[in-house]
Structure 1
Amino acid sequence: MANIFFIIPAGGVGSRMQADRPKQYLKLLDDQTVLESTLNLVQSLENIHSGTLGISENDAYFPILNIPKDQLITYSAGETRSDTVFLGLKALSNIAKPDDWIIVHDAARPGLTHEELELFITEVMYEEDSIGGIMAMPAVDTVKQVAHGQITQTIDRETIYLAQTPQMFRYQYLYQAYEEALTKNLAITDEASAIEALGYKPYIYQGYPHNFKITHPTDLRLMRFLLEERKLCE
């Protein structure tokens, strides 16, 4: 059977958080950082073999995290998220087979439950002729296209999905997609856009509102509230 590996790009500085440290090292619940919560999520699943973590070269916070590190490959992040993911794929080149699965998940998305992640993995793996897929949320608001501060048209929201992570693809396809995209300087913002540039149509799995990316201070407060509520319900 194919193995499953993960890549978590965590080299960002999170400037929009206006904090004294990168947002992945801010505290959530029970004195646990955002990154610890995300890593605990992916490392707790038995069907995930191991993975890589891209961190800043002079990262002073990661060494003191209380997480299992024996199955985790760390490497220096690139200048962009795309560079960091591609370096993660390269870091797996000696252990990942072409048909193995790679899950890329944002360090600042700790809101999924283990069960939700497992359901996503199962759905993508057993989708007919699947090379991979992503979590995404259907747009619920009216979507406007804007140029120079003015609306140019209203877009049919029935065709619009907002991409999330995890995004999960076969190793050989994802490696090829990133290699070509970066060589050709294509504007790719996630794994799916790289795969699409090869002419493939990734599978869409409906995501969850609580799987938002922590970007602003209000996001951090909301995630703390959600995790506290979840803990009370356990």
Structure 2
Amino acid sequence: MPSYAIGVAPRCFALVPCAGVGLRAGAGGPKQYALLGGRPLVAHTLAALAGVSELSATLVVLAPEDTQFEAAVPGFGSADSQWTARIGGETRAQTVANGLDELLARGAQPHDWVLVHDAARCLLRPAWVRRLIEACADDEVGGLLALPLADTLKQARLGRSAATLDRSDKWAAQTPQMFRLGLLRPALAAGGSGITDEASAVEALGHAPKLVPGEAENFKITWPGDFALAERLLASRDEEAMR
């Protein structure tokens, strides 16, 4: 494990990779700007993060050619803790790595925590972020929100079920994923094509991230049908708020 300064209280930064094109969602453009409940997906995501007082700042990493963000989230950047950078890479891992460099340039330190969150997990609630921060604050490695698999897990072969797999130790990874900047940066730099999220990069260095129970609502909008489900969940939240 890297060594960190003793007695220096770490800060928490959110990093939102927002440079993808979201082809699978069928939204006719980057899915982070598709409307959900009358607002772009990423606006919902950033509103949730803005409700987490434990975060010192939130950095949104955009594609260099992005021309939509300011119109999608008007007013973001007006606060000193709201940052953007058009330095997205060709892959999610490169976008996050570039974002970590930006955080360092803006004064973040290796011992500080970085919470990487998918822009398309737009049903995030501040309480879930706090749950992760509280669970990992004293952890040597860090961790991620995740869900134990509830469904029977099948192994496919040529479009047919070839075997049933043991799901007792299987979890579905979510975000945020929370790691110290000084650990995550070299982990991503050392990662190869098998890196699918921040936790997998940290695992490749021999560490075991903590699994913090998440919520089924914290799903990533990926397919066209996900929009309808998210709309229904947002509507139910609005109804709860009016009671």
Same fold (TM > 0.5): yes
The residue type paired with residue 197 of structure 1 is A
- Structure 1 segment 185-224 matched on structure 2, within 5 A: 185-224=192-231
Q: Is the 8 A contact 1:4 1:102 kept in 2?
A: yes
What SS does the aligned partner of 2:109 have?
Answer: coil
Q: CA deviation at 1:186?
A: 4.1
Instruction: Name the counterpart of 1:78.
Output: 89
Deviations 1:91-123 (A, max 9, x none): 111311111000000000011211222122111
- Letter of the 2:42 partner, please give it: L
Q: State the alpha-carbon separation in 2 of the partners of residues 191 and 148 from structure 1.
A: 31
Q: Which residue of 2 aligns with 1:23?
A: 31
Distance 2:31 2:193 in 1: 28
**2:66 touches 2:86 (CA, 8 Å); kept in 1?**
no
Q: What whole-Å deviation, never above 9, does each CA across 1:174-203 have from its counterpart, x for those lacking one?
A: 01101111xxx3410000000001100000
2:124 aligned with 1:117, yes or no? no
SS in 2 for 1:49: strand
Q: How does 1:1-234 map to 2 (within 5 A)?
A: 1-29=9-37, 31-64=38-71, 65-70=73-78, 71-94=82-105, 95-126=107-138, 129-181=139-191, 185-234=192-241
Cα offsets for 1:123-177 (capped at 9, x unmatched): 1213xx4320011111111112224434443211101101111100111110110
Asked if structure 2 preserves the Cα contact closer than 8 Å seen for 1:77 and 1:84, the reply is yes
Decide whether the 8 Å contact of 1:38 with 1:107 is kept in 2.
Answer: yes
Residue pair 2:147, 2:173 contacting (<8 A) in 1 also: yes
1:37–1:110 contact (8 Å) kept in structure 2: yes
Contact 2:62 2:84 survives alignment (8 Å)? no
Report if aligned partners of 1:36, 1:67 keep a CA contact under 8 Å in 2. Answer: no
Matching residue's letter, 1:125: A
Taking only aligned residues, the RMSD between alpha carbons, in angstroms, comes to: 1.5
**Contact persistence 2:123–2:230 (CA under 8 A):** yes
Q: Distance in 1 between matches of 2:232 and 2:184?
A: 35
CA deviation digits over 1:199-223, x for unaligned, max 9? 0000001111100001112111111
Distance 1:90 1:119 in 2: 26
TM-score by length of 1: 0.92
Separation in structure 1 between the aligned mates of residue 83 and residue 226 of structure 2, nearest angstrom: 27
Structure 2: runs of 5+ lacking an equivalent: 1-8
Does the aligned pair in 2 maintain the 1:124–1:203 contact within 8 Å?
A: yes
- 1:62-106 CA-partner distances (Å, limit 9, x unpaired): 121224214213222100111111111111113111110000000
5+ long unaligned stretches in structure 1: none
Instruction: Kindly tell me the number of residue pairs found equivalent between the two proteins.
Output: 228
- The CA deviation at 1:25 is 0.6
For the residue of structure 1 that corresponds to 2:46, the secondary structure is helix
CA offset digits 1:28-68 (Å, max 9, x no partner): 12x22100110111122211011321212221211212242
